[in-house]
Amino acid sequence: MFMTKYDIAIEIDARGSFCPGPMMELIKAIRQSEVGEFLSLLSEDEGTRNDVPAWINKAKHELVEIIYEDGYDRYIVKKLH
């Protein structure tokens, strides 16, 4: 598990999967998590950079941070409701 200032409840490693894989994995994890928990999504798919922030905005959760790692991105998401 990634060591961060956030207490990550679920980490989703969607590297190696194309859209809609990473986003659908995130949505599944959102369904399983509790309000207030942080989730971490790992994706190397370029489409995710557009789709995930747009979905989080639509679904009214919080995209806390995107961390650009070596060859992939880490999205920190907080479930708000």
Partner 1 sequence: MQRIVIVGGGFSGINVANKISMKTKRKDVSIILIEPREDNVYEPFYLYWSFRKDPLKKFHIPIRKVLRKRVQHIPALATKIDTKNKSVDLSNGETIRYDYLIIATGARMAEEKVGAYEKDNVHHFYLTKATTELQEALKNFNGGTIVISPSTVPYKCPPAPMEFAFMVDRYLRKRKIRDKSTIKFLYPLLRPYPERRVAAKIQELYDKRGIEFVEFFNFERVDKENNKIVSLEGDEIDYDLLVLIPPHEGHKVIIEAGLGDREGFVPTDRFTLKVKDQDNIYAIGDCTNLPVSKSGAVSHFSAPTVAKNLLLEMEGKEPTEKYDGFTICFVVTSPRRSLLLFFSYAYPPKKFGLHNLFIYGLVKKAFKIAYFKAILRGYL
Interacting residue ranges for partner 1, rule: CB under 8 A: 16-21, 23-24, 27, 30-31, 47, 50-51, 54-55, 58-60
Given 9, 11, 13, 19, the catalytic residue: 19
Comparison of 4 and 28: residue with beta carbon closer to partner 1: 28
Smallest gap from Cβ 5 to partner 1, in A, equals 28
Q: Is 19 designated active site?
A: yes
CB 1 within 8 A of CB 59: no
Cα–Cα nearest to 78, from 10, 20, 15, 17: 10
CA 57, CA 48: separation in Å to the nearest integer?
Answer: 14
Q: Which residues are catalytic?
A: 19
